[in-house]
Amino acid sequence: MIIGHIGARKASKGLPGKNFREICGKPLIAWSYTHLTEAAVIDHVVISTDDEEIYTFGQEHGALDIGLRPPSLSGDTVAKWAVWQDSLAKVEALGIKVEALIDLDCTNPLRDVSDIENALGLFREQDADLVMSCCEARKNPYFNLLEYDDQGYLKVSKTLAGSVVARQAAPTVLEHVASTYVISPTYLRANNFLYGGKVLPYMMGQEKSFDIDSPFDFEIVEFLLKKRLGG
């Protein structure tokens, strides 16, 4: 079985109540939930949350009943990995054999259903442990990302033998896009870290590669979503 998963904590410091905040006519979480229910490859959907309102939303729309997440997984420093492990264990306790867990960040409504299906296709074709959404980085540490040196002056974050004077000459760097993940249950059970195995990028266009963590992010994503919808 392919399990669609959404993790949504109640608290948010950057934008309080963001997961249930309305954007383009429906709650933010509803966009990702709809993506999962419209994807033909998804067999069941679960929502991991400590928010009773969000959990009720999932139950009313057909999500599996796995209960609220424990308080130990509700803080803002809890790793996504631990939440995935908890959800996988609860789904398997229902007697469901899981081929893959597909997690969607509910803060990115810009993906398409095809992104879910294509990411799963890559996962299967390459026999990957994990596939995660990425895009080509907007900034490059070999060219225009900077750090302070020991004297407090600026230096390029990563250096090469010769100076990189043009972005095109710098090594390709990818940006982790908080959107779509496909995870092997075997890998998830055996590891405690995202990058400990055969992890591959699912490349998304930069026009989809925004997620909401602040009021300004919300404005950007709302503008892009309205544009896509023809508004």
The predicted structure's pLDDT at residue 170? 83
The predicted structure's pLDDT at residue 177? 94
Which helix (H) or strand (E) segment holds residue 92: the answer is helix 80-93
The CA distance from 129 to 184, in Å, is: 5
Kindly report the average pLDDT of the chain as a whole number: 92
**What is the layout of strands, in order, in the sheet containing 100-105?**
44-49, 2-8, 100-105, 174-183, 130-136, 199-203
DSSP 202: E
CB 136 within 8 A of CB 206: yes
The predicted structure's pLDDT at residue 49? 93
**DSSP string of 10-74, one letter each residue:** S--SSSTTGGG-EETTEEHHHHHHHHHHH-TT--EEEEEES-HHHHHHHHHTT-----PPPGGG-
CB 36 within 8 A of CB 79: no
For 187, phi then psi, to 5°, come to -65, -40
CB 98 within 8 A of CB 185: yes
pLDDT of residue 103 exceeding 80: yes
Tell me the per-residue pLDDT of 175-221, one tens digit each, with 9 for 90 and over.
999 999 999 999 999 998 889 899 999 999 889 999 898 999 999 99
What value does the mean pLDDT take over residues 114-141?
96
Q: What pLDDT band is residue 13 in, cutting at 50, 70 and 90? A: low
In 3D space, the residue among 211, 185, 212 whose CA is nearest the CA of residue 89 turns out to be 185
Identity at 161, one-letter amino acid code: A
Q: What pLDDT band is residue 11 in, cutting at 50, 70 and 90? A: low
The predicted structure's pLDDT at residue 62? 95
The predicted structure's pLDDT at residue 71? 85
The predicted structure's pLDDT at residue 122? 98
In 3D space, the residue among 88, 129, 127, 121 whose CA is nearest the CA of residue 4 turns out to be 88
| Domain range list for the chain | 2-132+176-229, 138-172
The predicted structure's pLDDT at residue 231? 64
- CB neighbours of 78 closer than 8 A, spacing ≥ 6? 72
pLDDT of residue 14 exceeding 70: no
Residue 39 has which token pair?
Answer: 């994807």
The CA distance from 39 to 28, in Å, is: 18
- Greater confidence, 19 or 133? 133
Which CATH code, of 3.90.550.10, 3.50.50.60, 3.30.70.580, 3.30.420.10, is assigned to 2-132+176-229?
A: 3.90.550.10
Q: Please give the C-alpha separations between residue 57 and each of 9, 61, 65, 149, 188, in angstroms, as whole numbers.
A: 14, 6, 12, 50, 27
Residue 58 has which token pair?
Answer: 């999932």
Tell me the per-residue pLDDT of 52-90, one tens digit each, with 9 for 90 and over.
999 999 999 999 999 999 988 877 777 899 999 999 999
**Cα–Cα–Cα angle for 75, 106, 173, nearest 5°?**
90
**Cα–Cα–Cα angle for 68, 176, 183, nearest 5°?**
50
